[in-house]
Amino acid sequence: MRLESRRGMRTGSDLDRRFPVALALFALLGVLVWFTIGDGAVMVFGRPVEIRLVALLVIGSFALRAVLARQADRIRHGAEDGNSPPPNL
């Protein structure tokens, strides 16, 4: 086990192995939210919004964060390995 992994920083192969599991767990959590949270509504900017949609938005933001972290790690390790730098967008 590499020293970086023990300190809490994940390496590329470690993240690649954990990524599908994380997305599957986010999807499972989303399904559980959909079937367990009732038909309540909260007011958002003066309009009623189903509370389960708010919970799904929060879970979706965590899933998006995981996707972005994986992409950033791939770009970072691609530049360190001597590959060509990512294209400018």
List, in sequence order, every residue forming a beta bridge with 41; answer none if it has no partner.
Answer: 50
Let me know: does 50 contact 40? Beta carbons within 8 Å. Answer: yes
Q: Return the pLDDT at 61.
A: 97
- CB within 8 A of 37, min separation 6: which ones? 51, 52, 55
Global pTM reads 0.69
| pLDDT range class, residue 5, cuts 50, 70, 90 | very low
- pLDDT tens digits, residue range 22-43? 999 999 999 999 999 988 888 9
Q: Return the pLDDT at 13.
A: 72
Residue 57 has pLDDT above 70, yes or no: yes
| Domain ranges within the chain, ordered by starting residue | 11-79
Q: Is 10 exposed, middle or buried (0-12, 13-18, 19+ CB in 10 A)?
A: middle
